[in-house]
């Protein structure tokens, strides 16, 4: 649940009177509103939702009780006018204990476009200075409470049941990559859910494409099959990948599979509060390098997941931040050998005080499709 005190603290640190937000997942997280609009959070803790006539009734039904809803007709003009009015009436203690008015408003620089920025700047008429908020909200959102974790667990369960059902059909008849992905989508709909991202189902040589799209290629009975899939529950998303072999694999596949699985397990075993994300990436990357496949591991180790399928934290060698209790993120090493095959193994982890709890359930210590179903 949104902790407004963290946001107020960040506003005070930047000497800002408020923060302007447009990203839908942030608006939903803070207000409960699932439509389009903007929200403004003041340094005094007010939360204002600006919505036009298309969404006013919906907003009144969805928003949490403490959110003030203001209808707008001209987006930039009406929002700027309201913020200027609130800022003039606010006032904060200055360094000498007197009354001061901040002229700074933070904004979601990673989501508000250049055109939107220019329009707001024009309406503020130099009375307000807009400064980038950067990752102010993403780090707050990275800590999941019990309610959020339960939604993610529900999404995991829905995704796994839907995918295993699709794979059961594969055992009975030959189908294409697109067929498998479509069956999975239908299974999600039957469970009142939807994809958290475009499903990946790749076989044979196609599996060497880390983010390839399902094709009309038939899934052979003696081929590698890589599936990356997720579902959604109340806006919260899951993400999981398994790789199986539908026949009798050769020694090269077995060696690659063991390399990727072992690298993943080594990294997961080291997850605990205080550990640097960069060191987790290094553990997996160094092991894959040692086994001779370093050049084929072409992406970072993982990413956070929640209301967005890719959100903070990013488990990358470039990230010097540390793991915190309550975070949910993926661990997904992969080896992709062009012209041959690819192997990726991905699980979601929830950080507890003493380590990581894997919250995806499909076992990946074996490579056979019969081990999944």
CB atoms within 10 A of CB 5: 9
Strand locations in the chain (E): 18-21, 38-42, 47-51, 68-71, 92-93, 99-100, 104-107, 129-132, 200-203, 224-229, 232-233, 236-237, 240-245, 302-304, 311-315, 328-331, 334-337, 341-344, 347-352, 355-358
Measured in degrees and rounded to the nearest 5, phi and psi for residue 223 equal -120, 165
Distance (Å, rounded) from C-alpha 108 to C-alpha 230? 27
Mean pLDDT of the chain, nearest integer: 93
Residue 241 neighbours by CB under 8 Å, 6+ apart: 200, 226, 227, 228, 229, 332, 344, 345, 346
What is the token pair recorded at 367?
């490579």
pLDDT of residue 173: 79
Confidence of residue 92 (pLDDT cuts 50, 70, 90): low
Query: Which positions ≥6 away from 233 have C-beta within 8 Å?
Result: 151, 152, 154, 155, 158, 193
Residues 66, 52: Cα–Cα separation, whole Å: 19
Q: Which residue has the higher pLDDT, 372 or 162?
A: 162
Going along the chain from its start, the domains and CATH numbers come out as 4-140 (3.40.350.10), 146-371 (3.90.230.10)
Q: Which tokens sit at 67?
A: 């959110």
pLDDT at 99: 45
Instruction: Give the lowest-confidence range in 32-41, 43-52, 167-176, 321-330.
Output: 167-176
pLDDT of residue 101: 57
Residue 76 tokens read as 């930039």
pLDDT at 206: 97
At residue 367, what are phi and psi to the nearest 5 degrees? -105, -5
Q: How far is CA 41 from CA 9, 17, 77, 129, 245, in A?
A: 12, 9, 18, 16, 52
Q: Is the pLDDT of residue 233 over 60?
A: yes
Q: Which residue has the higher pLDDT, 90 or 157?
A: 157
pLDDT at site 11: 87
Note whether 365 and 289 are within 8 A (CB): no
Give pLDDT, residue 91: 66
* Radius of gyration (C-alpha) of the chain in whole angstroms: 24
């Amino acid at each position: 649940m949104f902790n407004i005190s963290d946001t107020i603290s960040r506003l005070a640190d930047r000497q800002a009177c408020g923060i302007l937000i447009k990203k839908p997942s942030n608006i939903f997280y803070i207000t409960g509103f699932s439509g389009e609009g903007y929200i403004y959070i003041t340094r005094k803790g007010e939360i204002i939702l600006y919505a036009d006539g298309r969404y006013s009734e919906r907003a009144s039904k969805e928003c949490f009780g403490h959110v003030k809803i203001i209808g707008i007709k001209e987006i930039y003009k009406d929002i700027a006018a309201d913020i200027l009015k609130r800022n003039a009436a606010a006032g904060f203690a200055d360094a000498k204990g007197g009354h001061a008015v901040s002229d700074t408003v933070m904004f979601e620089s990673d989501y508000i476009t250049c055109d939107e920025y220019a329009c707001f700047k024009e309406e503020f008429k130099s009375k307000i200075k807009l400064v980038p908020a950067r990752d102010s909200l993403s780090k707050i959102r990275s800590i999941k409470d019990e309610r959020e974790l339960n939604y993610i667990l529900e999404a995991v369960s829905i995704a796994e049941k839907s995918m295993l059902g699709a794979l059961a059909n594969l055992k009975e008849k030959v189908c294409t990559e697109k067929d498998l992905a479509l069956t999975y989508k239908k299974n999600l709909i039957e469970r009142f859910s939807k994809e958290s991202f475009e499903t990946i189902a790749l076989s044979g040589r196609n599996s060497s494409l880390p983010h390839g799209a399902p094709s009309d290629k038939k899934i052979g009975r003696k081929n590698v099959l890589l599936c990356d899939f997720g579902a959604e529950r109340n806006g919260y998303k899951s993400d999981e990948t398994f790789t199986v072999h539908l026949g009798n694999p050769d020694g090269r596949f077995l060696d690659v599979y063991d390399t990727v699985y072992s690298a993943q397990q080594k990294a997961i075993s080291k997850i605990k509060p205080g550990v640097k994300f960069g060191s987790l990436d290094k553990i997996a990357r160094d092991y894959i390098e040692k086994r001779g496949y370093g050049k084929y591991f072409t992406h970072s180790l993982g990413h956070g997941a929640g209301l967005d399928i890719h959100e903070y934290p990013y488990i990358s060698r470039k990230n010097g931040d540390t793991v915190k209790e309550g975070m949910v993120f993926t661990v997904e090493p992969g080896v992709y050998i062009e012209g041959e095959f690819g192997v990726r193994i991905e699980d979601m982890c929830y950080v507890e005080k003493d380590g990581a709890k894997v919250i995806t359930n499909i076992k990946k210590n074996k490579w056979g499709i019969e081990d999944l179903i």
